[in-house]
Structure 1
């Protein structure tokens, strides 16, 4: 049995879709009503990392698990690992981030992911880390501005990032979850096939949508104000620090891991945008 957490997010949902009908599968969600993957051998359970009883039930009979966490103020990874170890889980595949390998990255989110990796590494469980670069799907946050104004607003619009399609992360996760003995103790850095700027992404979206779009550069204070509307200050400051590292070139490196592990090239942003054009239309 494989357990997939984060089953309503871009990576977990795609892992579930790829495994549906091929392996016995249990999908964990705080709100099972939001899970969209169903099929033979697929079970959806309600659970929360802070509820040990629900974790115990979700992990019963599980051999391998995809672990996705995103609450930086909660010890969700430690809670999950304790329950997984007690349940006899063999292998945890953890969705992490490439920033943990950057010496200059010392923001709250990166420190949290470093601690999470340490917790898993020290747990005694077999592990695989998927250290992903920025998700291409993050640009979905631009959709309201594109639909209503034809405008994309972002900070440091000419800085480049080798963003990655969540579907490619999921393809690597499936390999790690279903090929015992090949991926344990490995940390995989995952990027897209090119480094691209927000301004270039805007231009590509305009071509795909067949309508003019305008890119507007945010000032740092404008970006900070927007972030603080949605996040606590330490999280907003972490995003701003990440943007500064991107401006310095820390996120432009292209890695060959997706091709090496899946046998096909990583998808480009244009590929991703064409497949998700309806979200911006």
Structure 2
């Protein structure tokens, strides 16, 4: 039995459809109804079990982990505690292996922001858990560009911070494909995989590519630090906003431009590009009228 947490998240929703026939799959979510809808969409109904579960509810964790051999772990609470509770429950349930979604920033010696410190701590917990472990460390997802969709549709504008800074962002579908292979194959215990796209791109360059694909002229507008802080403040608490600003500054210094071929080595094909992802998601950006 494979347990997938974060089933409605960016990677989890792609992963569920990639765990093929022959594998018993269970998806844990605080809102099982959302996952049930996703399971139907990806054509996995009948072979994927959906259960309610909360990291802060030991009973629900124990029920979700019953009979599970391998788990895909996604957590998002930088206050901490969720990983520790999950790993304790996994040990108690006899789980053998945990595949953890982390981030490439943990390898950057200059990265000392709140989010990266939390991710390093979560990796350390897994390493000493007594369970078999594998770490997936992607760069940011190309799908983060969906945040531009409203301004592209309404005004044909992309607004971003440090638009000329390169970033080897990765297609979340590639991360899900790697996760599916690691979850269902042997030989990955004790491994940490850094996952990037095939090239480093900039927000300004992505804007140009997106405009060509849409057949329209898009304008790129650089955000100031204050404008970026104000935009993120509407979505995240202040400490997370500060961490995102520090992360953007590291990107500006070139810390996120490095490319790996890990996706190719693990899947047998070239990692997907921003252009390929954008081509498959043009409907989200198509201007009204």
> Is TM more than 0.5 here?
yes
Q: What CA RMSD, in Å, does the superposition of the two structures yield over aligned residues?
A: 0.9
Q: Deviations over 1:175-209 (max 9, x none)?
A: 110112x0000000000000000001111111111
* Dislocated runs of 4+, deviation >3 Å: none
Partner residue of 2:206 out of 201, 205, 215: 201
Q: 2: CA distance between counterparts of 1:252 and 1:81? A: 33
**Counterpart check, 1:115 vs 2:116:** no
Give the deviation of 1:70 after TM superposition: 1.0
Question: Who is 1:88 aligned against?
Answer: 94
Q: 2: CA distance between counterparts of 1:45 and 1:210? A: 44
Is residue 80–residue 118 contact of structure 2 (8 Å, CA) maintained in 1?
Answer: no
Question: Who is 2:157 aligned against?
Answer: 151
Is residue 20–residue 40 contact of structure 1 (8 Å, CA) maintained in 2?
Answer: no
1:38-117 paired onto structure 2 within 5 Å: 38-117=44-123
Q: 1: CA distance between counterparts of 2:19 and 2:283? A: 25
Give the deviation of 1:13 after TM superposition: 1.1
User: For 1:215, what is the secondary structure of its paired residue?
Assistant: strand
**Counterpart check, 1:240 vs 2:245:** yes
Is residue 20–residue 39 contact of structure 1 (8 Å, CA) maintained in 2?
Answer: no
Q: 2: CA distance between counterparts of 1:210 and 1:260? A: 35
**Counterpart check, 1:263 vs 2:263:** no
Q: Deviations over 1:57-89 (max 9, x none)?
A: 000000001001111113111111000111000
1:133-152 paired onto structure 2 within 5 Å: 133-152=139-158
Normalised to the residue count of structure 1, the TM-score between the two structures is 0.98
Q: Deviations over 1:80-107 (max 9, x none)?
A: 1000111000000000000000000000
Give the deviation of 1:127 after TM superposition: 0.2
Judged with a 3 Å threshold, the aligned counterparts in structure 2 of structure 1 residues 136 and 276 are, in CA distance, closer, same or farther, namely same
Is residue 160–residue 252 contact of structure 1 (8 Å, CA) maintained in 2?
Answer: yes
Question: Who is 2:221 aligned against?
Answer: 216
Is residue 64–residue 177 contact of structure 1 (8 Å, CA) maintained in 2?
Answer: yes
Deviates more, 1:126-135 or 1:204-213: 204-213
User: For 1:157, what is the secondary structure of its paired residue?
Assistant: coil
Aligned length: 280
Deviates more, 1:26-35 or 1:92-101: 26-35
User: For 1:3, what is the secondary structure of its paired residue?
Assistant: strand
Deviates more, 1:22-31 or 1:150-159: 22-31
Q: Deviations over 1:224-267 (max 9, x none)?
A: 11111211111000000000000000000000100001100000
Q: 2: CA distance between counterparts of 1:224 and 1:122? A: 37
Give the deviation of 1:39 after TM superposition: 2.2
Question: Who is 1:3 aligned against?
Answer: 3
Is residue 100–residue 133 contact of structure 2 (8 Å, CA) maintained in 1?
Answer: yes
Question: Who is 2:196 aligned against?
Answer: 191
Normalised to the residue count of structure 2, the TM-score between the two structures is 0.95
Give the deviation of 1:20 after TM superposition: 4.3
Is residue 21–residue 41 contact of structure 1 (8 Å, CA) maintained in 2?
Answer: yes
Q: Point out where structure 1 has 5 or more consecutive residues left out of the alignment.
A: none
Q: Point out where structure 2 has 5 or more consecutive residues left out of the alignment.
A: none
Partner residue of 2:258 out of 242, 245, 253: 253
Is residue 197–residue 259 contact of structure 2 (8 Å, CA) maintained in 1?
Answer: yes
User: For 1:161, what is the secondary structure of its paired residue?
Assistant: coil
User: For 1:18, what is the secondary structure of its paired residue?
Assistant: coil
